[in-house]
Amino acid sequence: MSSRTRDRTNEIGLEFTDYKGQPTTLCQGCGHNSISNQIVQIAFELNVRPHEIIKLSGIGCSSKSPAYFLGMSHGFNALHGRMPSVGTGALLANHHLKAMGVSGDGDTGSIGMGQFKHICRRNLRMVYIVENNGVYGLTKGQFSATADEGLELKYAGYNEFPPIDLCQEAIVAGCGFVARSFSGDPTQVRELMKAALSHGGTAVLDIISPCVAFNNVDHSTKSYTYGKKHEVPLHDIGYVPKREEIMIDEYGPGEARSVELHDGSHIILRKLESDYDPTDRLGALARLEEALETRELVTGLIYFNDERPSLAEAAGLKDSLPALAHLPDEKLRPSRKKLDEVMARFL
């Protein structure tokens, strides 16, 4: 980002700094900080209105980060592993809000596994970022369920168990937007985040985000060095906002594929891996499986499917309706006549 970006205001008259949060209290070099920065930037670039966003998280270093971006948006740092349920309540209470959720691999893959699976199944419309570092950062470095099998770390010791693949988990649970990225690849992170914000259901971003304090040894798949060396992007990604639709044609056909998102914007995927089709559920699972074996960090939009209604839609909360939270008393209390009618039925 050029220093010019930082100075100018965006189309809704906000400055870059308006999208910042409190100064971070995370470690210097922590991947999570980089991700927070990308959120600030895309919000600025997309002319996001801060009050239309809520920030959600569970507990952990990662889950602290919503304090460090979008200071003008309401935020809720909930309980360990329980961001999904809190998000479900909040987004049903006000289905016009967009949610930017940040969780950790411990928060999502261990204590939060159940809620994570069920939010995917219900297709709650929110961006669900997992800042995945293979350890519990905030409690000082124990292995999480995404740690490499056989990894040995100074504090955590030796890991006996195979890693859980959160992208596979999301896909199997019915999630329609599943991406993986690397905090060391900010460009890709940004494009994926933008697309995720435009998606009409749960959008899971599993972002490898190295913990420099506890899991940054070179052979760990969650380290910077490893990520830098082994990242395999499936495609080049470009996000095109709705109002710039016209530009889509600029992307030559053939090697690039354009996918329309819920809000009318598009994501352009320029294939790097020739036969990868992100709309093929099994193919996606297979590619993840392969990457697990080869220890590659495949990144990109791994699976996409926007056929299922979001939870709010399934609940009948149409876009045109006011938020439940803002309904006036008249809508909340049936008339006296109705009460009489109901009681009459009991007589």
Ligand X SMILES: Cc1ncc(C[n+]2csc(CCOP(=O)(O)OP(=O)(O)O)c2C)c(N)n1
Binding site for ligand SF4 (CB under 6 A): 26-27, 30, 32, 61, 133, 137-138, 211-214
**In the numeric block, which tokens belong to residue 37?**
């920065």
Residues that bind ligand X (CB under 6 A): 59-62, 80, 104-107, 131, 133, 135-139, 144, 211
240 touching a copy of itself, by CB under 8 A: no
30 binds, among a copy of itself, ligand SF4, ligand X, none (CB under 5 to 8 A by kind): ligand SF4
133 touching Mg ion, by CB under 5 A: yes
176 binds, among a copy of itself, Mg ion, ligand X, none (CB under 5 to 8 A by kind): none
**Interacting span for Mg ion (CB under 5 A) from 50-58, 117-125, 129-137, 238-246:** 129-137
Question: x/- site string to other proteins, residues 31 to 70, per CB under 8 A?
Answer: -------------------xxx-xx---x-x----xx---
Between residues 96 and 281, which has the closer beta carbon with respect to a copy of itself? 281
Residue 255 neighbours by CB distance under 10 Å: 13
Positions 320 through 339 that interact with other proteins (CB under 8 A): 321, 323-327, 329, 331-334, 336, 338-339
Contact between residue 171 and residue 179 where contact means Cβ atoms under 8 Å apart: no
* Among 204, 299, 201, CA closest to 193: 204
Between residues 17 and 139, which has the closer beta carbon with respect to ligand X? 139
Between residues 80 and 287, which has the closer beta carbon with respect to ligand X? 80
104 touching other proteins, by CB under 8 A: no
User: Exposure string (b/e) for 56-73, b if CB count within 10 Å is 16 or more?
Assistant: bbbbbbbbbbbbbbbbeb
Between residues 29 and 114, which has the closer beta carbon with respect to a copy of itself? 114
- Residue of 105, 169, 191, 206 that binds Mg ion (CB under 5 A): 105
Between residues 79 and 212, which has the closer beta carbon with respect to ligand SF4? 212
238 touching Mg ion, by CB under 5 A: no
294 touching a copy of itself, by CB under 8 A: no
* Among 221, 237, 138, CA closest to 179: 237
113 touching a copy of itself, by CB under 8 A: yes
107 binds, among Mg ion, ligand X, other proteins, none (CB under 5 to 8 A by kind): ligand X
